[in-house]
Amino acid sequence: MKTRAEQCKDEGNKCMKEGKFTEAVIHYSEATKHEPNSAIFYSNRSLAFLKLDQLYLAMEDAKQAIKLEPSWPKGFFRKGEIEFKGGQYQQALVSYKKAMILDPSDSGILSAISKTNKEITKDNKEATRTPILYTFLGLLVGAVIVAADQFLTKAPALQFLPLQVLLVAGCGGIGFAVAKIKRYLIVSQRESCLEEPLDLLKEMGDKPEETSTASRQSPSSHTHHSQAAGKQRMRKGKA
């Protein structure tokens, strides 16, 4: 006879096979209520969140699975999957290698490590190649501008060679800067994927609380001020 938690897990597994990932999350969540110390349930829900592109929630469940079963390779493997999807390939490689230490015979882990190494190589090449490409394009645009100024206008604005060189170099510098900004935005976007999402209800709830606190304090402070002013007037009258 299966327990209620196992029944919920089976329902969640069925939903996963059918592509109903949101329903799977509900069933796995119910399973964790009945057996909160089961790493399998958290790992399964982590996968469901991953399929929904909820990387932060997926990571929280993966970490919980690792916490409950530190010697279970699936927890580290799940963590690596989330990091890989978020574009954090170096961190994913570390997680996969931890999983491999716990289970060296798992071909799935070895395949994931190989795939991650390829992505790291590709990403490093892209990070090196993009600034060079953008700089070259910038130099090319600068050269075209100088050529157009010299041959397509009656009175060239850039008559001196130093100015022409400066313009071409400036365009190349702009291209290099654009490439660096692009890379920064890519890295920032990857990092933000695993950050905790903003709780708008909580943020909105703080302000009314502050306002109500201020309003509660305001009458008493006003009364205190009025009493003090009255006492001061009485003392002046007696004097």
Q: What is the CATH superfamily name and number for domain 4-118?
A: Tetratricopeptide repeat domain (1.25.40.10)
Overall average pLDDT of the 198-212 stretch: 55
Q: What is the pLDDT of residues 26-41, one digit of tens each?
A: 999 999 999 999 999 9
Whether this model's pTM surpasses 0.85: no
Q: Could you tell me the pLDDT band of residue 195, with boundaries at 50, 70 and 90?
A: confident
Overall average pLDDT of the 198-205 stretch: 62
Answer with the residue of higher pLDDT: 232 or 51: 51
- 198 three-class SS: coil
Category of 155 on φ-ψ map: left (φ > 0), alpha (ψ -120 to 50) or beta: beta
**H/E segment holding residue 54:** none
> Do 91 and 116 meet the contact criterion of CB atoms below 8 Å apart?
no
Q: Which of 120, 23, 122 is CA-nearest to residue 80?
A: 120
Which pair of structure tokens corresponds to residue 200?
């708008």
Q: What is the pLDDT of residues 85-121, one digit of tens each?
A: 999 999 999 999 999 999 999 999 999 999 999 999 9
Specify the DSSP class assigned to residue 72: -
Q: Looking at residue 233, what is its pLDDT?
A: 45
Give the C-alpha distances (Å, rounded to integers) separating 200 from 14, 58, 104, 123, 203. Answer: 33, 20, 44, 34, 5
